Amino acid sequence: MKLTVWTYEGPPHVGAMRVVTGMKDVHFVLHAPQGDTYADLLFTMIERRGHRPPVTYTTFQARDLGSDTAELFKDAAKDAYERFKPAAMLVGASCTAELIQDDPGGLATTLGLPCPVLPLELPSYMRRENWGASETFYRLVRGLAGPYAPAPGEARAERRPGPPRCNLLGASALGFRHRDDVKEITRLLARMGIEVAVSAPMGSGPQDIARLGEADFNVVLYPEIAEEAARWLEKAFGQPRTTIVPIGVSATRDFIEEAARLAGVDPAPALEDGDLRLPWWSRSVDSNYLTGKRVFVFGDGTHAAAAARIAVEEMGFELVGLGAYNREFARPVREAAARYGVEALISDDYLEVEAAIEAAAPELVLGTQMERHIAKRLGIGCAVISAPVHVEDFPARYAPQMGFEGANVIFDTWVHPLVMGLEEHLLGMFREDFEFGHDAGPSHLGAHGAPRAAPAAAASEIMHELMPAAPARPAGDQPETADAVWREDALAELKKIPFFVRGKARRNAEVYAAECGAEVITLETLYDAKAHFGR
Amino acid sequence: MTLACAPDTAIAAPGAKRDVLRERGQREVFCGLTGIVWLHRKIQDAFFLIVGSRTCAHLMQSAAGVMIFAEPRFATAIIEERDLAGMADANDELDRVAAQVLARRPDIKMLFLVGSCPSEVIKMDLSRAAERLNAAHDGVRVLAYSGSGIETTFTEGEDTCLEALVPELPAEDPDAPASLLVVGALADVVEDQFARLFDMLGVGPVRFLPARNASGLPPVGPNTRYLLAQPFLGRTGAALEGRGAKRIAAPFPLGARGTEAWLRAAADAWGVDRERFETVVAAPRARAAKALARHREALSGCSVFFFPDSQLEIPLARFLHEELDARLIEVGTPYLHRGHLDCELPRLPADVLLSEGQHVDSQLDRCRAARPDLTMCGLGLANPLEAEGLSTKWAIELVFTPIQGFEQAGDLAELFTRPLRRRDVLRVS
């Protein structure tokens, strides 16, 4: 058993729902207890869909347990077919139904429904949401495109005349910016004369899946969902696939070269884009202060690895931490981490992520909604780069992450909290001013700062924060330099340091004092430590 | 023994037994685990440990929204493959996780082990686990109850939780004077208002279940009269009867008239005279009436459709009908407790369709055919119905917002009128 407050990923059947909810003309019958319909609201509320997900739940209750549940499943599947008349149906079990061992695939087969029925095995106690999405898409592709695959060993059919064509694979419901990424990459490919045959699973139906084999190659937009299916298509239809995810300027250019090579076209028309502004924005003198900003990156493997490259090579940040929650895609993250000299954190435990962020003391966190809240708690700026995300990250406006417009979006999104940080710094310069006093706290980030109405309480709280040996601090939370004592003038100076590096400065001074055997931290010690640790 | 309904001029003569449409099929409802979201705010030193799957943790995350980041006093012990395969003794694992929770949160005085569908299907005995943990941990009371979807629907999770608390209540001295126990979690502000009103009426001593602290559990005994503040407490009511307490029959304290009838039921049981009652309730009743007047204009004649969700549907429908002149089409409830609704049902108009249970697709067909002005439903249905041009009010808000009592009557009405007002102000399509 594992103690969990929140989870980066849902169970695998939620992944299956993400695949079918993006599609047309399919229906998913899920053997699940009453209550599992909560997952519907992820789609109707967070993604704001105006339709119910195409999912029928058996919603069995305690009184149904026993042989009755199998009948319940059959009735639900029959009714769902009659009502929705889908072109293909998927059947599967959620975690509880997995335990009662009715076999949805077998039961559905006995019904003899007049459409293809694809059974899903979703091992809920071992796997998670992304795996469920990947597996579901793979089963769909095998089940619906499989019958059209040439026999093994046969040469690939002569390609049809006309422009080169590819499939875009991986976009799903509840995907972070999937809607706009598809649009952006479709446009980018069009500039090289490459047509998109099918974009799947989002936006496609069973008939589209059936003709995936007709395209010349596959673009894997989100490896978490599409890699498995693309590998199989490569084997079955001899379709090569792209390996570079076009997030960031350089990655987009690499992707263009790769796609052009697979399509046999000239990449030049796509490589230059008059609307691409990130490179100039990043070179403009206003961005000078971004240099060497310490950034911590966490998310799904694909987005985290892409963000690390952008952060270092395109924004000029210093990468101080990199990690991912989905173990299946740890490899690209480990590689990126090695490239930029940090150790990869592969974990789905937010407490571990929080500890790593605290230890790295970054000035900017790039992560999921969990990191957004961690950063808020720590008073650090943060931008969201990966699912899981909340409703505000399914925006009304055009907001891709991929391609050149995606790079523009990323520049704005990441710099925004730092500009806020700069504002805070400026405010800090006026901190003797009562309106901007230390007790006012970092307003935009709503962190520890206590309201001005209670200056005495706030001051004592700050003393506790700054004086680790103070008794009010919970045991176990004390740095090893607990015996360090701060001279008042040093403490006053410490308060002048902007809040987002203050903790780091405090720790450095204490470590330095401990190393030198100094019992009291003076103004002198503070500046000696600054020189000692200065980057 | 149950006291008869308090006399009220608004109550129609109890007619013949009502027909109720009972349906089976897909149910678009939450499971009882969701109750933890408000219960853990109410009982301030309790921790709720769900024994379940990743789905349970994901549900709590989705239901609790932003609250999940505020170091909440609930968590899930996720059952893993090795627990199922017998590679690890699930009981040992549970003991380990419980100890982990208690070590991290030394301020916790009561630990609830909450059963889920997976833990119940594999027949983990959480009651025995609770006994074991009680012996192992001093100073913490460990209890077990079920919040599983196979056993409970949404608010029934509060019912099973309070039912588990009833045996823990200290026994009231048999010679003690009659006491009033108000049952059902209420927002603190509402609880305080009711405590003041009962005090002014001279009804008491008054205690509340759940109490705000695990150490402050109210006593119960044959001299206890209990008054339900929530309609979904069937099992808790039965458990209290088992300890000798007697129910005061009343409608639920929603709206001005509901609140007045609820208070009067208690006042009558205490023999409070009419004059005193009038003196106490006149001012807040007048305030509530004033607050309701402007909403009546908006809702009068509007047709309303309830999907099942919380068992609050029938009292809410009564309020909409009696006090706001809305026209009821269908009132769906996940479970209909005829005994506890004895003072509510006669107040509903004869032509409304009552339905219990759900076949969501058939119910959606009925809803679409009726095209109500306002539809009360869950978040999974609300946006899809809005996209079809139907105005909706998402039901879960009615459980999280303070809606009971005189002072909240206007706020309660506002919850229903806001979607209609919004429909009218938007000039974009």
Of A403, A418, A433, the last residue of a domain is A418
Residue B367: count of CB within 10 angstroms of its CB: 23
Residues A137-177 have pLDDT tens digits of 999 999 999 999 998 878 777 777 899 999 999 999 999 99
Q: Is residue A256 located within the same domain as residue A288?
A: no
| B395 touching A (Cβ < 8 Å) | no
Encode pLDDT of B53-78 as tens digits.
999 999 998 887 766 666 789 999 99
Q: Is residue A255 located within the same domain as residue A285?
A: no
Q: How far is A334 from chain B (nearest CA, A)?
A: 26
Q: How confident is the model at residue A500 (pLDDT cuts 50, 70, 90)?
A: low
Are A83 and A66 in the same domain? yes
Residue of A197, A187, A209 lying closest to A86 (CA atoms): A209
Q: Is A368 left (phi over 0), alpha (psi -120 to 50) or beta?
A: beta
* Shared domain check, A353 and A237: no
Query: In which domain, by residue range, is A378 found?
Result: 277-418
- CB-nearest to B55 from A41, A60, A94 is A94
Domain assignment present for residue A42? The answer is: yes
Q: Are A97 and A28 within one domain?
A: yes
Task: Assign A524 a pLDDT band (cuts: 50, 70, 90).
Answer: confident
CATH of the domain at A505: 1.10.8.550
Query: What is the domain-level CATH number for residue A249?
Result: 3.40.50.1980
Task: Please give the Cα distance from A306 to A152 (Å, whole number).
Answer: 36
The annotation status of A153 as a binding-site residue, yes or no, is no
> Do the Cβ atoms of A50 and B120 come within 8 Å?
no
CB pairs under 8 A between A and B: 177
Query: Is A137 a member of any domain?
Result: no
Q: Judge if A255 and A292 occupy the same domain.
A: no
- Is A422 assigned to a binding site? yes
Torsion sign (Cα): A157, A161, A162, A164 = positive
CB contact (8 A) between residue A50 and residue B384: yes
Collapsing DSSP states into helix, strand and coil, what is residue B59? helix
A461 in a structural domain: no
Q: Do A41 and B378 touch (CB under 8 A)?
A: yes
Question: Distance between CA atoms of A526 and A505, rounded to whole angstroms?
Answer: 8
Give the SS3 label for residue B404: strand
- Cα–Cα–Cα angle for A526, A528, A529, rounded to 5 degrees: 65
pLDDT-derived band at A66 (thresholds 50, 70, 90) equals confident
**DSSP H helical segments within B137-254, as ranges?**
156-165, 188-201, 234-242
Domain-terminating residue out of A418, A443, A470: A418
For residue B389, how many other CB atoms are within 10 A of its CB?
A: 10
Q: Which residues of A touch B31 (CB under 8 A)?
A: 33-36, 38
Q: CB–CB of B143/B217 below 8 Å?
A: no
In a domain, residue A383? The reply is yes
CB contact under 8 A, B383 and A83: no
Q: Report DSSP letters for A181-225, one per residue.
A: HHHHHHHHHHTTTPEEEEEEETT--HHHHHTGGGSSEEEES-HHH
Same domain, yes or no, for A285 and A400? yes
Partner-chain residue, chosen from B57, B78, B383, that has the shortest CB–CB distance to A44: B383
Quick check: is A447 in a domain?
no
The answer to whether residue A45 neighbours chain B at the CB level (below 8 Å) is: yes
A288 in the same domain as A261: no
In contact, B159 and B152? CB cutoff 8 Å:
yes
The verdict on residue A257 lying in a domain is yes
My answer on whether A201 and A226 are in the same domain is yes
Where does the pLDDT of residue A379 fall: very low under 50, low under 70, confident under 90, or very high at 90 and above?
confident
The residues in A 114-173 lying below 8 A from B, measured between CB atoms, are: 123-126, 128
Domain count, chain A: 4
A454 in any annotated domain:
no
In a domain, A135, yes or no: no
Chain A, 379 to 408: residues with Cβ < 8 Å from chain B are: none
pLDDT tens track, chain B, 429 positions:
344 444 443 444 444 578 899 999 999 999 999 999 999 989 999 999 999 999 999 999 888 776 666 678 999 999 999 999 876 788 999 999 999 999 989 999 999 999 999 999 999 999 999 999 999 999 999 999 999 999 999 999 999 999 999 999 999 999 999 999 999 999 999 999 999 999 999 998 999 999 999 889 999 999 999 999 999 999 999 999 999 999 999 999 999 999 999 999 999 999 999 999 999 999 999 999 999 999 999 999 999 999 999 999 999 999 999 999 999 999 999 999 999 999 999 999 999 999 999 999 999 999 999 999 999 999 999 999 999 999 999 988 899 899 999 999 999 999 999 999 999 999 987
Q: Which residue blocks in A430-477 are alpha helix, DSSP H?
A: 455-466
Q: Same domain, yes or no, for A20 and A119?
A: yes
- For chain A, positions 238-297, list CB contacts with chain B under 8 A: none
Q: Are residues A408 and A315 in the same domain?
A: yes
Is A300 flagged in the annotation as binding? no
Which tokens in the block code for residue B413?
Answer: 């009405």
- Looking at A383, A398, A418, the residue that finishes a domain is A418
Task: Give which of B22, B26, B104 to mutate to test A binding, by max A Cβ within 10 Å.
Answer: B26
Q: Same domain, yes or no, for A29 and A49?
A: yes
Q: Where in the sequence numbering do the catalytic residues of A fall?
A: 286
